[in-house]
Structure 1
Amino acid sequence: VSGGTYTVSYQSTRSGLFSITVQIGGATVGGSAVTESVTPNLLSAAAMAPGGNYSSVVVAGATNPFTLTGKDAYGNVHTVGSVAFAAIIGNSSHPSVALQDLTTSAGSGGEG
């Protein structure tokens, strides 16, 4: 409390649209509820994994798409903005078959 002003803070690990209602003794404070939009945090490579309709066998010379869903450390999905991914594909015989920079926009499929 400072000069009759109370400061309230919160920390959310979930993104989305939240309604915040402040109450004193069960009565809602005037001007409450406020709506806040919580956006995902920075992308976390550890929270993401490739997916899609593919198996461990792909065809040489063919396009073999995969998907990558951008997530923050809390698992919140990024739905806006552009992200540049680098795909390094190789094996013991060919340690560097391909290196390609993939730029995608979140929400547009994210395939590359």
Structure 2
Amino acid sequence: MSKKKLNSLEDLGGFVFSTNNEFKYDQEETQETLPPNKQFLEALFSNKGRGGKIVTVITGFEGSDEDLKALGKMLKQKCGVGGSVKDNEIIIQGNHRDKLMQILKKQGYNVKRVGG
């Protein structure tokens, strides 16, 4: 296997090496989660790339990954179906768009229906 040639420090993935023993690298960036009334979510359903199976996708969440996963878990439990959280999207199995919109509106989120 050939080794990749490094042309600049950016090729190292953003890490900086230091000889200072007291240097503290703060790698974790915390993204503050907006309150539900300031969130603008979009609910759509899709079947592309899923073998023809329909899923409901919730996009537009602004906040930490932990809060997004918690919201996804709550939505999956309320609908009684499976799903996942990927690429800042909540994916719920089946066409539950109207039910999810009602649940999110009760939680205080601004939800917009996208698509047919």
Give the TM-score of the pair, scaled to structure 2: 0.30
Higher Rg of the two aligned structures: 1
- Please state which structure has a larger fraction of its residues in helix: 2
- Please state which structure has a larger fraction of its residues in strand: 1
Give the TM-score of the pair, scaled to structure 1: 0.30
Compare relative contact order (CA 8 Å, sep 6+) and give the higher one, 1 or 2. 2
